[in-house]
Amino acid sequence: MVDKAMYEGNRETAWCPGCGNFPLRQVLVDALADLDLKPSQVAMFTGIGQAPKMPHYMKVNGFNGLHGRALPPALGMRVANKDMKVIVETGDGNAYGEGGNHLLHNIRRNPDLAHFVHDNQIYGLTKGQASPTTGEEIETAVQPNGITAQPLNPIKLAVSMEASFVARGFVGNRDHLKMLMQEALKHRGYALIDILQPCVSFNKVNTYQWYAKRVYEIGEEYDPTNYDAAMKKAEEWGDDIPLGIIYKNEDKAIFHDKLPQVDDKPLVEKESTPQDKEYLLKEFK
Amino acid sequence: MSEQVALTGNEVMSQAMRQINPDVVAAYPITPQTAIVQTFSQFVNDGDVDTEFVPTESEHSAMSATVGASASGARAMTATAANGLALMWEVLYIASGTRLPIVMPVVNRALSGPINIHCDHSDAMGARDSGWIQLYAENAQEAYDNAIQAVKISENKDVMLPTMVNMDGFIISHAVENLNLLADEDVQDFVGEYHAENPLLDSENPVTVGPLDLQDFYFEHKMQQAVAAENVKDVVLEVAEEYEELSGREYGLFEEYKLDDAEVAVVALGSTTGTAKTAVDNLRENGVKAGLSKIRLYRPFPAEEIAEALADLEAVAVMDRAETFSTTGGPVFADVRAALYDMGADVEAVNYIYGLGGRDLKVEEIESVYKDLEEIVETNTVEDRVQHLGVRE
């Protein structure tokens, strides 16, 4: 068993008291440690936002890059070293707004990554503008008349593209969220968890209470490998919000499967023997 | 009629935008710009402006929407900073290359990485060759005045180029200053109505904006753009003259501060010039003939005028709040030095790169630059042509 203290950072956070990022971080540490993963075996990729500050506040290998661009460098890392557990930690803005295009193509490639989206339905870092998941009824400082665009349903989007693992969690249901994270970390392929969490400072509508009243955990009778059922489940939002693995397809090829040259060991451990490739030149002679 | 108010740089920039009353504003939040657009969106909500406001999903989309609006014949604005500007990069060239008179406040902030939200000029300096006019401000009053003048400069038929109205992040954008706002109707009269010459929405005269332009005409179009850039200096001065009549505040291509009889001087732009003025005053009290040249119009670069203003100095230090990693100095230095070379002026020019990522620059540090210049004059030798000021080693 890995000691959880190994993951604990020693920096004061810039998160507000009561921020959903605190329980999320705790659950993440629990999930990693209980899977017997050491911080040195984990690489975390983030963009810009409150969620992407995560590698500042816990001890893992961290890469903090550009807003919306956490997925591409994570994919690069994954290709270079398949032995690391690669986590992408973003907010709803990073994942579904500025990084939306990367999300689409990442689902297509299906690399072996776990993507945890801290979905608080608002831009917290820049102090309360609408994100792609902000509800239409919400007024923000930049949208004082409410949101004119329809909110994105990330679960439906991912399921419709047959992403290989699609789940929704809530920071208020910690044991359940931990289970989801562990399943995502164990999953072979791209695992997306949309994690509902309140922004106590800038989202006055989607509070702990708002979520707690609506969320329910999907029962065991639900079959996440059934695409049609998953599409139907993905549409649920409003008075009842399902939590759990909405869709899973373990048979889907992962990005590595299509790259035979990097399938056996990390690039750094491979010997470079260009002299063995001389036969390739023969056909040009 | 003007009104004295105490506002932050961001607040006053949103007031300038309210008074300009553009047809379209499209934007995406980024520190330290967010407050400009956020305050402006409240004006939209309250019906204080007639603007169509478009919150987008990225700065690339913000600039693209602004380009679309401007091409359609609307007066269009946006605002950004740092990586937001960097994400706009390819669209910046579409705006200038298709001759769209967009005005964009840029709240100068260091470009990542590593991530930093504080002031330097790496964002705007990186975009200095994108074909946009660039104005820089010492304080919030100047940023406000520049924004209003920028509309008239950009939309001048001899120019038709977009303008970045630069203002130092946090130092100007977040600090409260006493300043004067013009009356709304005076700003409206000053900027007037915008009538695009070939708007997309003129169904009687359909046009295509930005089609393929290969070896046959691309070069000629770029030449036209270069000619427009040549015209900018005169237009900036004309607009400044008109603006002075309205506001009583005087503007030029650059400001000369105690430069007439100076022997040593600093060339700088942005908020640091305010600090430099204090350094000049202190040194003058001690008998040092110190001066300052504060650049307002950096793109296009008023090379001849600046070289002429510096020609009688013994030595000049150019201050750059951006690294080019050329190892030959910052961007302003390269321009000033080339201008002095053309003039054949016998002035030693050295470069100080300072203030990266918001590192504060104190009066004493600027005074030390003048002391270095005096030493150069005395010994007739330059030991370090390019130095980094205020950095730990």
Indicate yes or no: CB of B29 within 8 angstroms of CB of A132. Answer: no
Mean of the per-residue pLDDT values of chain B? 97
Q: Which residues of chain B are in CATH 3.40.50.920 domains?
A: 254-389
Nearest-by-CA chain B residue for A133: B57
Q: Which secondary-structure segment (H or E) carries A30?
A: helix A21-34
Residue A112 touches chain B, beta carbons under 8 Å? no
Tens digit of each residue's pLDDT (9 = 90 or more) over A139-189 = 888 888 888 889 999 999 999 999 999 999 999 999 999 999 999 999 999
Residues ≥6 apart with Cβ < 8 Å to A263: A82, A256, A257
Residue A67 touches chain B, beta carbons under 8 Å? yes
Q: Any idea which fold B254-389 has?
A: Rossmann fold (3.40.50)
**Nearest Cα residue to B130 out of B158, B100, B169:** B100
The tokens 């999953």 sit on which residue? A187
Tens digit of each residue's pLDDT (9 = 90 or more) over A232-278 = 999 999 999 999 999 999 999 999 898 887 777 888 888 888 888 88
**Nearest Cα residue to B312 out of B262, B352, B373:** B262
The whole-model pTM stands at 0.94
Indicate yes or no: CB of B42 within 8 angstroms of CB of A144. Answer: yes
Residue B227 touches chain A, beta carbons under 8 Å? no
Indicate yes or no: CB of B31 within 8 angstroms of CB of A142. Answer: no
Indicate yes or no: CB of A129 within 8 angstroms of CB of B30. Answer: no
Q: How far, CA to CA in Å, does A267 sit from each of A83, A263, B68?
A: 10, 9, 46
Mean local confidence (pLDDT), B46-64: 96
Phi, then psi, of A278 in degrees rounded to 5:
-60, -30
Mean local confidence (pLDDT), B327-345: 95
Residue B57 touches chain A, beta carbons under 8 Å? yes
Of A64, A125, A142, the CB nearest to B41: A142
Domain boundaries defined on chain A: 4-282
Tens digit of each residue's pLDDT (9 = 90 or more) over B64-81 = 999 999 999 999 999 999
CATH architecture of A4-282: 3-Layer(aba) Sandwich (3.40)
Cβ atoms B18, B49 nearer than 8 A: yes
Mean local confidence (pLDDT), A185-203: 97
How does residue B220 score in pLDDT terms, banded at 50, 70 and 90?
very high
Q: Which residues pair with B105 in a beta bridge?
A: B165
**Nearest Cα residue to A197 out of A51, A46, A67:** A51
State the Cα–Cα distance between residues B168 and B136, nearest whole angstrom: 9
pLDDT of residue A239: 96
pLDDT of residue B1: 62
Question: What percent of chain A has a predicted confidence (pLDDT) above 90?
Answer: 81
Mean local confidence (pLDDT), B275-284: 98
A67–chain B nearest CA distance, Å:
9
Cβ atoms B265, B290 nearer than 8 A: yes
Indicate yes or no: CB of A68 within 8 angstroms of CB of B58. Answer: yes
Per-position DSSP letters for A192-234, written without gaps between them = EEEEE---TTT-SSS-HHHHHHHEEEPPTT--TT-HHHHHHHH
Local structure of residue A252 (DSSP, 8 states):
S
Mean local confidence (pLDDT), A84-98: 96
Peptide bond into B300 cis (omega under 30): yes
Per-position DSSP letters for B167-236, written without gaps between them = EETTTTTSSEEEEEEEPHHHHHHHH-----SS-TT-TTS---SS----TTTHHHHHHHHHHHHHHHHHHH
Indicate yes or no: CB of A123 within 8 angstroms of CB of B29. Answer: yes
What does the angle CA A143 – CA A148 – CA A151 come to, to the nearest 5 degrees? 105
State the Cα–Cα distance between residues B168 and B181, nearest whole angstrom: 20
pLDDT of residue A266: 86
Maximum Cα interatomic distance, chain A, rounded to a whole number of Å? 74
CATH 3.40.50.970 for the B2-184+210-246 domain, yes or no: yes
Is the reported ipTM for this assembly greater than 0.90? no
- Per DSSP, helices labelled H in chain B are 9-20, 34-45, 59-71, 82-87, 89-97, 122-126, 140-154, 184-191, 218-247, 272-285, 303-310, 331-343, 363-379
